[in-house]
Structure 1
Amino acid sequence: MNTITPHLICAGAAEAIEFYKKAFNATELGRLAGPDGKLMHGAVRIGDSVVMLMDEFPQCGAMSPRTLKGTPVSVHLYVDNADTSFERAVAAGAKVIMPLADMFWGDRYGVIEDPFGHHWSIATHIRDLSHEEIQTAAQQACAQGADALNNAK
């Protein structure tokens, strides 16, 4: 286990395990089902990290992004080839939130939403930049974004 480990609440944790196997080449580490068959705990390994997951238990305050109507959290996944990983996740049923693109900070980066409402950002580092280069590029990207908004009005 690493110092920080995501623990995802899913409406359908068993199905989420199967999705993560297809989408992210996850390896299932185990499941613990309650008497009603809902998963009290499950775990998969994606790359060098463990992701824990469980079914919703609203009576205990454990609710999924679907029940909450969204999520403010994105699980960030660094991979050797963002294009391949992104395409595999979409083919497995993920929805594209932000298409892959070469980003000003030096990563190829995009965001998907899994069928359970969790957001995953997928990235591959493609070039090294100094802090100053990133800062300048960020300012340019923000200015371009503002220009695009103004032109759309």
Structure 2
Amino acid sequence: MAVKPIPEGFHSVTPYLTVRGVDKIIDFLRKAFDAQVSHEPIKRPDGKIMHAQVKIGDSCVMLGEESEQAKATASTLYLYVPDVDRVYQQAVRAGGQSVMEPADMFYGDRCGGVKDQSGNSWMVATHKEDVALPELQKRANEFMKQQGKAA
């Protein structure tokens, strides 16, 4: 039997987060987003996690502890959920630092966000409205004008 070029359960693009304290990040993801660990993490000789995989919803996220060859870098991930307000509160209770309380956005999503202990931003959203491109551009322009007034 031939090996699949994209493994079962994966999509074409898979986030790989290099973090500090990967075990703490995995714990946060479990509590905040009901992440499931896909398999036993692979450890380095020093006992730290070299590679782990979690599944959040239908998506896999790979994680690894930073090393001399791969330093931790902060990323932003956008996570669609059925109830953004509930998941945002769950993420805050799990230790996420609020960066934005959920709000209805001009592009049709209700969105909020938290940061994990390694500095990654997790933007959590529920899609509420399909917005046609001309209307989306109009709303984006209005949003940018409002932002300029607020600055």
Using the size of structure 2 for normalisation, the TM-score is 0.89
Cα distance between partner residues in 2 of 1:50 and 1:118: 16
The count of aligned residue pairs is: 141
Rounded to whole Å, the distance in 1 between the matches of 2:118 and 2:95 is 10
1:40 corresponds to: 50
Give the fraction of aligned pairs with identical amino acids, expressed as a percent: 39
1:148 shift after superposition: 1.6
Q: Note the C-alpha offset of 1:13.
A: 0.9
Matched residue of 1:96: which SS?
Answer: strand
- Kindly indicate which of the two structures has a greater share of residues assigned to helix: 1
CA–CA separation in structure 2 for the residues paired with 1:120 and 1:16 = 12
- List structure 1 runs of 4+ shifted beyond 4 angstroms: none
Deviation at 1:5, TM superposition (A): 0.6
Q: Paired residue for 1:2?
A: 11
Partner residue in 2 for 1:29: 38
**2:63 alignment partner in structure 1:** 53
**Per-residue Cα deviation, 1:14-55 (whole angstroms, up to 9, x for no partner):** 121111100110001120111110111001000000000011
Match of 1:76 among 75, 78, 83: 78
Other-structure match for 2:99: 97
TM-score where L is the length of structure 1: 0.88
Match of 2:120 among 118, 121, 124: 118
C-alpha contact (below 8 Å) 1:80/1:124 kept by paired residues: yes
- Structure 1 runs not aligned, ≥5 long: 66-70
SS class of match (1:77): strand
* Separation in 1, partners of 2:13, 2:62: 11
Counterpart contact for 1:64–1:117, Cα < 8 Å: no
Matching residue's letter, 2:91:
A
The residue number in structure 2 matching 1:68 is none
Q: Aligned to 1:63, which of 68, 71, 93? A: 71
- Distance in 2 of aligned mates of 1:96 and 1:18: 18
- In structure 2, stretches of 5+ residues that fail to align are 1-9
AA partner of residue 44 (structure 2)? G
Q: In angstroms, what is the RMSD of aligned CA positions? A: 1.1
Deviations 1:104-131 (A, max 9, x none): 0100012211111111111111112211
Tell me the equivalent position of 1:141: 143
1:13 counterpart = 2:22: yes
Helix, strand or coil at the partner of 1:64: coil
Distance 2:132 2:38 in 1: 39
Q: Which amino acid aligns with 2:72?
A: S
